[in-house]
Amino acid sequence: MSEDEIKLYLLDILEDLNEKKISRKTAVNRLNQNKNLEKIIVNRNVCFCISDCYFMIKHLLEENITDIEIKYFIDCFRNKREYNLKEKNQLVLKELSV
């Protein structure tokens, strides 16, 4: 899988999650259905945006993942914003403090 294919795969999951078409559990299950994806993420030098998003989805049921974080990755994968870890973390912290 190329980085573009991975982004589309993740974006599909994120959009369905954001639109409440699927549950968080279903999102994690869909992510895990692609058996080679984790190997690609861990063993290949993919951009940090992809790996950060992959592990965010992987841990949806274990951590307090905000809707803002999900929407942030959607915007990144739709090329509406450039991924910036510091910016993402600031948005998430702001939402959690409300």
Q: Kindly tell me the burial class for residue 17, based on how many C-beta atoms sit within 10 Å of its own C-beta (0-12, 13-18, 19 or more).
A: buried
In this predicted structure, the answer to whether residue 83 has a pLDDT above a threshold of 90 is yes
pTM for the model = 0.91
Write down the number of H helices and E strands in the chain: 6, 0
Tell which residue, 86, 22, 94, 43, has the closest CA to residue 54.
Answer: 43
pLDDT score, position 78: 97
The predicted-structure confidence for 34-53, as pLDDT tens digits, reads as follows: 888 988 998 888 999 999 99
